[in-house]
Amino acid sequence: MANVNNKPFGLIASFKTAPDIYEAAKRVRDAGYKKWDVFTPFPVHGMDGAMGLKRSRVPRFTLIGGLTGFWTGVLITWYMNGYDYPLIVGGKPFWSFIFPFPVLYELTILFAAFGTFFGMFISNKLPEHHHPTFDHPAFNKASDDTFFILIQNEDPQYDAEKTRALLEEIGGEEVTLLEE
């Protein structure tokens, strides 16, 4: 169906080395583009700054997960050992924060880990098994040794001619038009 309404998605250009892509990304950022992305076979150190990205929001999911886990632990241990089936053990209180603490601790970590894991997927909008970049014949090299910059059609600054010129000027090779 893709070829029926082949709207342009954006322009993609390839780069050879990590320093090249790092410098190029800074130029795209300074040119004021917002809807664009960099593809690298490994996380390039400092690239977030070069792209002008803010801090990741994954820690929020971790915090929510951790708090949920801790209070889930409090709730189940209190309900099971202190409320629904209280047992006297050594004359100790039916429930306190002390004796089930290992359980609360483990559940905090468990839920925080789930929060982090799913937070990563939610923040990245993954899984997304189809994406226009996958139609680019050379894109499978993005996981090998080639670097790419994609500037999307949606970007308010996007202009087929000027954007192509910018990508070529900053050292991009094989500037290609991707279709949606």
User: Segment 144-163, which members bind other proteins (CB under 8 A)?
Assistant: 144-145
Are the beta carbons of 89 and 82 closer than 8 angstroms? Answer: no
Kindly identify the residues of this chain, within the stretch 35-54, that bind other proteins according to CB under 8 A.
37-48, 50-51, 53
Residue 161 CB, nearest approach to other proteins (Å): 25
Residues 85-108: b if buried by 16+ CB within 10 A, e if exposed: eeeeeeeeeebeeeebeeebeebb
Question: Which CB, 8 or 78, lies closer to other proteins?
Answer: 78
Backbone angles phi, psi at 8, to 5 degrees: -70, 140
Decide if residue 97 touches other proteins (CB under 8 A): no
Neighbours of 37 (CB within 10 A): 16
Residue 108 CB, nearest approach to other proteins (Å): 9
Distance CA 168, CA 39 (A): 17
Kindly identify the residues of this chain, within the stretch 103-142, that bind other proteins according to CB under 8 A.
103, 105-107, 109-110, 112-114, 116-117, 119-121, 123-124, 126-131, 133-134, 139-142
Residue 1 CB, nearest approach to other proteins (Å): 19
Question: Which CB, 116 or 157, lies closer to other proteins?
Answer: 116
Q: Which of 169, 179, 123 is nearest to 27 (CA)?
A: 169
Residue 155 CB, nearest approach to other proteins (Å): 14
Q: Which of 1, 29, 66, 69 is nearest to 149 (CA)?
A: 29
Q: Which of 9, 28, 81, 158 binds other proteins (CB under 8 A)?
A: 81
Decide if residue 59 touches other proteins (CB under 8 A): yes
Kindly identify the residues of this chain, within the stretch 17-36, that bind other proteins according to CB under 8 A.
17-22, 25
Count of residues of this chain found to bind other proteins when the rule CB under 8 A is applied: 72
Residues 154-174: b if buried by 16+ CB within 10 A, e if exposed: eeeebeeeebbebbeebbbee
Decide if residue 67 touches other proteins (CB under 8 A): no
